[in-house]
Amino acid sequence: MAEWAERLGRLLPELYLREDSSGDLSTLLNILGPTLDDITAKITALPSLVSVENCPAEFLPLLAGLLAVTYDTTLDPEPQRLAIREAIARYQRVGTMDALRRELSASGWQGEIIETHRKVLRLGTRTRLNQQKLPGHRYNLGIYQVTGVAADDQELNQILDSHHPAGISVGRRSLYDY
């Protein structure tokens, strides 16, 4: 008898097992037991589907969908497995200068990210929080400039937009604007 068949047999009153002269009850337990064993094995294996390393290739699109990663079923699953693996770390870093530099460099970008708050001259001793200003009506906290990005470069502009939190300004200049 399988594990579940034995467990179900122990749960039944002894009278039912003793009075089972035709063997119908033991036949039912032998049918239900393996079925419940299979269900238990599948439930036990369920956490492995969430692990990128152990997940079968046919379930990778579902895992990618949970993390909002684009998955193409026509491509090799191993590079896409890597993209899914890095998605959580990427989401934790999104909006930081290091993450922006890393993604831009990975796409072949060559330029510079200029954080304007490092270049603003602050005068006076009575400054208040967020009162350091750039020329005009913009505050310098959170404004950065990216050089080497053409206005028509869709890939780089998409990377910049994904790292562009609400309320942050980004200036885009090409290398030839200087």
CATH fold of 96-178: GMP Synthetase; Chain A, domain 3 (3.30.300)
Burial class (CB in 10 A: 0-12, 13-18, 19+), 25: middle
Q: How much is the pTM?
A: 0.47
The pLDDT, as a whole number, for residue 67 is 85
Counting as low any pLDDT under 70, the low residues of the chain are 1-2, 116-143, 164-178
Domain boundaries, the chain: 96-178
Question: Mind giving me the DSSP string for 101-120?
Answer: HHHHHHTT----EEEGGGT-
Q: What's the count of helices (H) and strands (E) in the chain, helices before strands?
A: 7, 3
The pLDDT, as a whole number, for residue 141 is 55
Look at the block and give the residue holding tokens 């990618």. 64
